Structure 1
Amino acid sequence: MQTYEQTVFQLILHGGNGRSYAMEAITAAKKGEFAEARRLLEQAGAELQAAHGLQTALLQQEASGGQPVVTLLMVHAQDHLMTAITVKDLAAEFVELYEALKRQTTES
């Protein structure tokens, strides 16, 4: 069983990985590499899903009577995760936008 601090660091790790994959997806889409962009978005989603699982476990622990430990590190982890989720959502929109622009320029 991992410690609270290890769980918090795992949240930061998975959130950061998810954000990085999402940013790489935008870069791939900008280059016209749409299959790669979608693959990277899937990886981002997998990382964020792993983080969400950790977050859910912490919430369940609190709901079952455990006292929450709110440290600056946990606040940072939550902020990191929420930012990563937002970046991933926006990256998906950017990939779609770049793909639509590519279609328009090739159809013209």
Structure 2
Amino acid sequence: MNKEEVAMLGFEIVAYSGDARSKLLNLLKEVRSGNSENVTEVMEKVDELLKLAHESQTQMLAKESGGEEVELGFIFVHGQDHLMTTLLLRDIIFDMIELYNRSEK
């Protein structure tokens, strides 16, 4: 894969994980204000977006592990950073929502 192809995958990862991150932060705001009605729906959408980001990442990893030379660039690294922090944020926010819901009962 050339640098441009890797960069495009990086942009995909940033877009998908960035959208997931925004949804997570908005969901947390809603839950904090007492609205827990759409948690499951939003978390499903977040998981789908993270799955798409992971699939973009896997495309490059599969090519490289298959012996193809890959020109790594900063945009892909930036995408990786977005994906990993959003995965962590998902877990933390999910736990925070559980805590808010328990304290409300």
Q: TM-score, normalised by structure 2?
A: 0.88
Identity among equivalent positions (%) equals 25
Aligned to 1:7: 9
Q: Contact 1:24–1:37 (CA<8 Å) still a contact in 2?
A: no
User: 1-side partners of 2:51 and 2:59: how far apart?
Assistant: 12
Q: Which runs of 4+ in 1 moved over 6 A?
A: none
RMSD value, Cα: 1.5
User: 2-side partners of 1:81 and 1:37: how far apart?
Assistant: 21
What is the number of equivalent residue pairs in this alignment?
Answer: 102
1:39-58 superposed matches below 5 A? 39-58=41-60
Aligned to 1:66: 68
The runs of 5 or more residues in structure 2 that have no matched partner are: none
Which of these two proteins has the greater Rg computed from alpha carbons? 1
Offset from partner CA, 1:13-41 (integer Å, 9 cap, x none): 00101111111121121122212223222
1:27-42 superposed matches below 5 A? 27-42=29-44
The runs of 5 or more residues in structure 1 that have no matched partner are: 104-108
Q: TM-score, normalised by structure 1?
A: 0.86
